């Protein structure tokens, strides 16, 4: 059985019992096939346009001289004589220089946030499940264009997936991003929230010119992260894909409810039956989302907001 089919076969092996949903993959096998089809409809990669060719067919501004001869031109004072085209020079009687095409294979790096606040959802799926679905579409699209694909999973223990090439690399990445993600027993004490260190690690590890997609709810974003994001945007093509749940945009009427802060562990009671309380929460969330968008814009980061309930990701990612 081909390796790709073996992975899908393992995907279908769902656990049984009352906790099956908690310990099941975030993406079902049928949904994975649909996401692969969506990725095929994506005309361009979201963070940087590439062309559907083979390795080495993309011009680069960041690497040195490539290996493929492109053309000859007349020699100009100051040119490197090591690049002299002696045959053309002998044939024309005028000094000519060989020009080489600078090349690279595009590197796409996906960051999937699997933190405590991402393990929440009120419509169809958790935010972390939507993040895995977005990562799946981007990974399949990159593989279809012969890109090199790597990832970082922000979790209780962060996981680095080295950059690899091809569809099998995309499937391996998706399998990790869609791994079961049960609620954290004590998120305040177990989850590392050092996002400044995480952003600095990305800057240090990625090759210049890479395409970087940060898939998160960005609830962790503060003023201290803005200069770090600006440095990333100066070196890479950065896209912030923010996953937001419907209840975070507009709180429904659920009566008296106790809310639990999944990041700090604190709790608060709120009477959602009161329209004034719901309006206050909606206004506060709108201000928070606007502030996050403004911070990302100042850092020079491309920004797209995706609802956790959205099914068709192509329209969002292609025009975001």
d(C-alpha 120, C-alpha 54), whole Å: 40
pLDDT tens digits along 42-55 = 634 444 433 333 44
pLDDT of residue 199: 96
DSSP category for residue 25: -
Contacts for 310 with CB less than 8 Å, ≥ 6 apart:
130, 316
Residue 159 pLDDT > 90 = yes
Where in the chain do CATH 3.40.50.410 domains reside? 3-51+105-319
pLDDT of residue 193: 60
For residue 283, the SS3 value is helix
The overall average pLDDT reported for the chain is: 80
Write b or e for each residue in 264-289: b if 16 or more Cβ atoms lie within 10 A of its Cβ, otherwise e. Answer: eeeeeebebeeeeebeebeeebeeeb
Residue 136 pLDDT > 90 = yes
Terminal CA-CA length for the chain: 38
CA distances for 287 relative to 248, 281, 294, 308, angstroms: 12, 10, 10, 19
CATH architecture of 3-51+105-319: 3-Layer(aba) Sandwich (3.40)
Residues in the chain: 320
pLDDT tens digits along 18-74 = 455 667 888 888 888 888 888 876 634 444 433 333 444 444 444 444 456 667 888
pLDDT tens digits along 236-282 = 999 999 999 988 887 777 778 787 666 666 777 877 778 887 888 87
- Structure tokens, 320: 């975001």
Confidence class of residue 191 from pLDDT cuts 50, 70 and 90? low
d(C-alpha 151, C-alpha 31), whole Å: 21
pLDDT of residue 295: 96
Average pLDDT over residues 131-138: 95
d(C-alpha 20, C-alpha 179), whole Å: 13
């Amino acid at each position: 059985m081909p390796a790709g089919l073996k992975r899908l076969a393992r995907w279908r092996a769902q656990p049984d019992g009352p906790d099956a949903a908690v310990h099941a993959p975030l993406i079902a096998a049928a949904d994975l096939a649909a996401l692969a089809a969506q990725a095929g409809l994506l005309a361009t990669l979201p963070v940087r346009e590439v062309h559907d060719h083979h390795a080495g067919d993309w011009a680069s501004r960041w690497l040195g001289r490539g290996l493929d001869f492109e053309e000859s031109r007349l020699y100009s004072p100051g040119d490197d004589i090591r690049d002299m085209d002696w045959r053309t020079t002998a044939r024309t009687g005028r000094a000519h220089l060989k020009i080489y095409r600078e090349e690279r294979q595009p590197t796409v790096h996906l960051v999937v946030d699997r933190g405590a606040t991402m393990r929440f959802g009120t419509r169809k799926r958790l935010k972390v499940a939507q993040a895995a679905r977005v990562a799946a579409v981007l990974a399949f699209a990159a593989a279809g264009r012969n890109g090199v694909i790597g990832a970082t999973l922000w979790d209780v223990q962060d996981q680095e997936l080295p950059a690899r090439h091809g569809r099998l690399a995309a499937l391996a990445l998706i399998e990790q991003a869609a791994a079961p993600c049960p609620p954290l027993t004590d998120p305040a004490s177990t989850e590392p929230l050092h996002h400044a260190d995480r952003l600095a690690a990305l800057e240090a590890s990625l090759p210049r010119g890479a395409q970087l997609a940060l898939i998160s709810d960005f609830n962790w974003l503060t003023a201290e992260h803005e200069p770090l994001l600006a440095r990333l945007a100066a070196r890479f093509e950065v896209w912030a894909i923010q996953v937001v749940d419907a209840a975070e945009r507009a709180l429904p009427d659920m009566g008296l409810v106790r809310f639990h802060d999944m990041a700090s562990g604190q709790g608060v009671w709120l009477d959602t039956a009161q329209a004034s309380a719901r309006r206050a929460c909606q206004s506060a969330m709108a201000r928070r989302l606007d502030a996050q968008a403004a911070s990302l814009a100042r850092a020079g980061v491309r920004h797209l907001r995706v609802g956790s309930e959205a099914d068709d990701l192509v329209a969002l990612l292609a025009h975001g």
